[in-house]
Amino acid sequence: MGENSAISWTHHTFNPWWGCAKVSAGCAHCYAEKQALRFEKDRGLWGVDARRRPTSEAYWRAPLKWDSNAAKAGERHRVFCASMADVFEDRTDLDHLRVRLFDLIRRTPHLDWLLLTKRPGAVQECLRRAAAMARTCAAPGAQDEPGQERPTAWWIDGWLYAMPPANVWLGVTVEDQRRADERIPRLLEIPARVRFLSCEPLLENVDLLTPTFNGADSFGALAGLHWIIVGGESGTRARPFDVRWARSIMEQCARADVACFVKQMGAAPVEGGAELLFADPKGGDPDGWPDELRVREIPVPQ
């Protein structure tokens, strides 16, 4: 899990640690937990009181190579961070790894880091603790630059005070209307160059245009967002994914001029109660989809 990710909307994946705890309906059939169970060393990583396993030193060096390759190619490459965890899980024992991660992001300016969380309410507190730790001591593996005093602390402080990093995209998972109403307002409170939603696994139709909180304008939550990813659930216990929900998201994005990326139909696609069959068991091959669903847009940060 790293270079040349199998996830269709990113180039690479990177995990500062493995392990998490379930927080909502979208977590019910967590693919990361299932994958961790395949390895003896990674069993027992899920749950509020479970341990978290940091990844190896060699693994942490890989993004530096990706950044160098992107620079040589004159390109920007996207890194999905924490497919096997949540960067903003509110545990103080993870603070030193967050400082090291933010230091790594700071030192890889040709990579756009996609930080996706189900815990937007914890983001600012995690940033505050990381900034305090970065001011007092460098995390293991973090790099202070000669002649500068704790540049990573300055970097985090800037993020806290409305100067978000140019290479961080911040997103939340939205699997149903309840989580849209809870998480999107929290996301919009946090400074970010690009804000996005992962509506995967999408479990019901979600209205993103109707204002549901203070400050929303005629485009509702979409007024402050730049990108929506939508997809169905994979796996043997996948819950139904009605492709009409994807069409609804696409139409809402088009009205608000927000980029939309249809990732997959999932393992249980339906339309109006009728089961749909695709050659790909995850429904991830757009060649088999109806033409109008083949939308895979990537936002261009301004």
Is 2 part of a structural domain of the chain?
Answer: no
Expressed as residue numbers, the domain containing 189 is 12-293
Is 6 part of a structural domain of the chain?
Answer: no
Rounded to 5 degrees, what are φ and ψ at 93?
-70, -10
Is 298 part of a structural domain of the chain?
Answer: no
Q: What is the pLDDT of residue 146?
A: 47
Is 7 part of a structural domain of the chain?
Answer: no
Q: What is the pLDDT of residue 143?
A: 58
Is 86 part of a structural domain of the chain?
Answer: yes
Cα–Cα distance measured from residue 139 to residue 76, given in angstroms and rounded to the nearest whole number? 27
Closest residue by Cα to residue 104 from 15, 183, 6, 177? 15
pLDDT, tens only, 132-150 = 999 887 555 555 554 445 8
If one counts every other C-beta atom within 10 angstroms of the C-beta of residue 51, the result is 11
Q: What is the pLDDT of residue 144?
A: 53
Is 301 part of a structural domain of the chain?
Answer: no
Strand 269-271 and strand 241-242: pairing?
parallel
Q: What is the pLDDT of residue 249?
A: 97
Q: What is the pLDDT of residue 128?
A: 97
Is 90 part of a structural domain of the chain?
Answer: yes
Is 229 part of a structural domain of the chain?
Answer: yes
The total domain count for the chain is: 1
Q: What is the pLDDT of residue 43?
A: 85
Which residue stretches of the chain have pLDDT < 50? 1-2, 146-148
